[in-house]
Amino acid sequence: MAKSKLKEQLTRLRCSKCKHVNYHTRKNKKTVDRKLEFKKYCKWCKATTVHKEARR
**Interatomic CA distance for residues 49 and 4, integer angstroms:** 31
Q: What predicted TM-score, i.e. pTM, was given to this entire model? A: 0.76
Residue 4 lies in a domain: no
Residue 1 lies in a domain: no
Residue 2 lies in a domain: no
What's the confidence (pLDDT) of residue 24?
93
What residues of the chain score a pLDDT lower than 50?
6-7
What's the confidence (pLDDT) of residue 3?
59
What's the confidence (pLDDT) of residue 9?
77
Residue 3 lies in a domain: no
What's the confidence (pLDDT) of residue 5?
57
For the chain, what is the domain count?
1
Residue 42 lies in a domain: yes
Residue ranges making up the domain that contains 41: 9-25+34-53
Residue 17 lies in a domain: yes
3-class secondary structure, 8 = helix
The one-letter amino acid at 38: F
